[in-house]
A and B are shown apart, each in its own frame.
Chain A
Amino acid sequence: MSILRLDGDSAFPPPPRDVATHFGEQSAPRRRRVLVVDDERLITDTVVQILNIHGYDAFGAYSANDALKLAENFLPDFLLSDVMMPGTNGIDLAVAVQEMLPTVLVLLFSGQAGTSQLIEDRDLPFALEAKPIHPDKLIKTLENLGRRR
């Protein structure tokens, strides 16, 4: 399984504590879990790192299949997934994860315009952002999504 936690990765040393507090993200008693899925590993890895800095408990997967297996044990609060991936696409993944974990909140991000139509067509309760999404905006979007719950 191609899952990588970046906390120990030397290329991206975890930021010291004060950087995280500098951003004012007070960790909740239980850190909210985000499952990040993108076949572009660099995107998965950097997003996981950014989310961890901002007080989330993020985990990455490089394919929908890996993500689905991982979701069973990781029990994410959020699924943040790319749409166009080899094999199962992000929309079908999100549907499957939501079936397993009905409370999971879904944020899709896509490099291809026009994806919104796909979601509207099927009337799915997923949020969508276009790539590239600035990390500040990503954090804000997740916050808003969490508040809606």
Chain B
Amino acid sequence: MTQGSESKDKSSSQPLAEVGPQANSLLAAIVESSDDAIISKDLDGTITSWNSAAERIFGYKPEEIIGKSILTLIPEELRDEEKTIIARLRNGERIEHFETTRLAKSGKLLSLSLTISPVRDANGKVVGASKIARDISERKEFERRLVETEKIVATGRMAATIAHEINNPLEAVVNLIYLARLSPTVNDQVREYLRLAEQEIERVSLIARQTLGYFRETAVPVNFPVSVLLDEVLTVYGAKLAYSGIDVHRDYQPAQPLTMRKGELTQLFSNLVANAIDAMPQGGDLSVSVTPEGDAPANGVRVQMADTGTGISSELLEKIFEPFFTTKEQRGTGIGLWLSRQFVEDHRGSIAVTSNTDAEDHGTTFRIFLPYENGLTQNAVAAERGNA
């Protein structure tokens, strides 16, 4: 797609040459201003054109890369892809939204979505390809973080379930071995075997206890602004919120950072946002505010999270912080809010909820107060934790 092709060589600029030089330069301008990289190559894989988005995304100037092999952009372990791509192009096939990884000049790996179309000459013969590459690194990063957050939540649930499912049979086995040892018909050798079996069971119990205790953070507390933490959580749930038709309204007053166990508070706010999403299947508004309350150590930060969801009736509202209580029959474990309250209390804070189920005015509001002085220090050795 070269600019000044005056139809001297029609085959190279097919089929654009037919529309005249003026239209050609318009198309060239469109290509130049595209946000997506637009690259053309011949069937040997030699790069023949390179727009400015390509320069921005890959870091090569046109003069550095035109005439070079397309393999320059492909990580070594993915070079076989090119053979497949060329083969499909030769058959006249188009490749759409192919998500893969390419290499920038800096050596950075890029997540890209590629659409590759064959370019034909006047006789319809495939002579090259145009390639549109969209940078999806950001989207991939969001996806990764969402998966990670969900993993943390799922791991906590799984650990609790597995602990229960392992410790109960162990209890039965310990008892059975004990009873077997007491049997008068058991001789000394068998009794010794049973004693060894008991010892091994003890090892299993120990491992189960050490690894499957409640998912509590042992990391050292950090000094961190609550508003930034909230934004991190909202970003992670951004796609879900948008998909559910929920508008987020943020009102953050400047506040001092807080010494916090970041993982616990992340889980706290994640639980609240996830609940808000569940409460608004038809969409709605989620208002999040941060308000400082004084500067003294006993003062702190107030966080409010209000949804316009279906609301919770007053008799259920009394119970929502109770363990094993859930309003979500199928999906709920009944430990989310209970755990959330514990995380708040671990930070010497408080959490309160109000809810309205009126047809006109409905929704649920959580108010959380987190004091600056919460007994956590950044250098604190968190060793005593984790054995809940």
Q: Which residues of A contact B (CB under 8 A)?
A: 12, 15-16, 19, 40, 42-43, 46-47, 49-50, 53, 84, 89, 109, 111-114, 116-118, 130-135
Question: Which residues of B157-209 are within 8 A (CB) of A?
Answer: 160, 163-168, 170-176, 178-179, 182-184, 198, 201-202, 205, 209
Other A-B pairs, 14, CB within 8 Å; known A111-B167, A134-B174, A134-B202:
A40-B171, A40-B172, A42-B175, A46-B175, A111-B165, A112-B164, A113-B388, A114-B160, A114-B213, A116-B388, A130-B167, A132-B171, A132-B201, A135-B174
Q: Which of A16, A42, A114, A134 has the most CB of B within 10 A?
A: A114
List of B residues within 8 angstroms of A16 by Cβ: 184
Complex interface: chain B residues within 8 A of A89 (CB): 324
Counting from the closest, the 4 A-B pairs by CB-CB distance are: A111-B167, A46-B175, A114-B214, A113-B213
Bound-state Cα–Cα, A50 to B209, Å: 24
Which residues of B, 47-79, contact A by the 8 Å Cβ criterion? none
Chain A residues with Cβ below 8 Å from B166 are 111
A46-B176, A113-B209 in contact; A133/B171 too (CB < 8 A)? yes
In this complex, what residue of B is CB-closest to A48? Answer: B175
Could you say which of A43, A113, A117 contacts B163, with CB atoms under 8 Å apart? Answer: A113
Chain A residues within 8 Å of B173, by CB:
132
Is B370's CB within 8 Å of the partner chain A? no
Known contacts A46-B175, A130-B209, A135-B175; A40 and B388 CB within 8 A of each other: no
B interface residues, Cβ below 8 angstroms from A: 160, 163-168, 170-176, 178-179, 182-184, 198, 201-202, 205, 209, 212-214, 323-324, 342, 388
A51 to chain B minimum Cβ distance, whole angstroms, is: 10
When the two chains form their complex, are residues A111 and B171 in contact, meaning their CB atoms are under 8 A apart? yes
Interface centre among A46, A49, A130, A132 (most CB of B within 10 A): A132
In the assembled complex, the Cα of A27 lies from the Cα of B323 at a distance in Å of 40
Are B170 and A53 in contact (CB-based, < 8 A)?
Answer: no
Q: A112 touching B160 by the CB < 8 A rule?
A: yes
Q: Which residues of A contact B212 (CB under 8 A)?
A: 113
Q: A113-B163, A113-B212 are in contact. Are A46 and B168 (CB under 8 A)?
A: no
Chain B contacts of A84 at CB under 8 A? 164, 324
Instruction: Tell whether A46 pairs with B179 under 8 Å between CB atoms, given A89-B324, A111-B164.
Output: yes
Q: Could you tell me if B323 and A118 are in contact, using CB atoms closer than 8 angstroms? A: yes
Contact of B170 among A47, A118, A131 (CB under 8 A): A131
6 CB < 8 A contacts A-B: A50-B178, A111-B164, A112-B160, A114-B214, A117-B342, A132-B171
A15 to B179 alpha-carbon distance, docked (Å) = 9
Bound-complex Cα distance A13 to B175 (A): 15
For B342, give the chain A residue with the smallest CB separation.
Answer: A117
B183 close to A15 (CB less than 8 A): yes
A131 with B171, Cβ < 8 A, contacts A15-B183, A19-B184, A89-B324 known? yes
* CA gap between A2 and B342 in the complex, in Å: 37
Which residues of A sit under 8 angstroms from B342, Cβ to Cβ?
117
A61 vs chain B, min Cβ distance (A): 16
- Return the chain B residue nearest A20 by Cβ: B182
Alpha-carbon distance between A130 and B172 when the two chains are bound, in angstroms: 13
Query: A53, A117, A118: which has the most chain B beta carbons within 10 Å?
Result: A117
**How far, in Å, is B324 (CB) from chain A's closest CB?**
7
Q: Which residues of A contact B167 (CB under 8 A)?
A: 111-112, 130-132
A12 in contact with B179 given A112-B164, A114-B388 (CB within 8 Å): yes
Report A-chain residues with C-beta under 8 Å of the C-beta of B176.
Answer: 42, 46
Q: Which residue, of A15, A113, A131, A133, has the highest number of chain B Cβ atoms within 10 A? A: A113
The answer to whether B175 touches A43 (Cβ under 8 A) is: yes
A27 to chain B, nearest CB (A): 17
Which residue from chain B places its CB closest to the CB of A46 in the assembled complex? Answer: B175
| Given A111-B167, A132-B171: A50 and B324 interface contact (C-beta under 8 Å) | no
Measured between C-beta atoms, what is the minimum distance from A34 to chain B in Å? 14
Q: Are A132 and B205 in contact (CB under 8 A)?
A: yes
Residues from chain B with Cβ under 8 Å of A43 in the complex: 168, 171-172, 175
Contact call A132/B160, Cβ cutoff below 8 A: no
Set of chain A residues within 8 Å of B179, measured between Cβ atoms: 12, 46, 49-50
Nearest B-chain residue to A18, judged by Cβ: B184
Pick from B168, B182, B388: contact of A131, CB below 8 A.
B168
Nearest B residue to A113 via CB reads B213
Nearest-CB residue, chain B, relative to A40: B168
Judge whether A15 and B184 touch: CB under 8 Å: yes
Q: Chain A contacts of B323 at CB under 8 A?
A: 118
**Alpha-carbon distance A64/B208, docked complex (angstroms):** 26
What is the CA–CA distance of A108 and B175 in the complex, to the nearest angstrom? 17
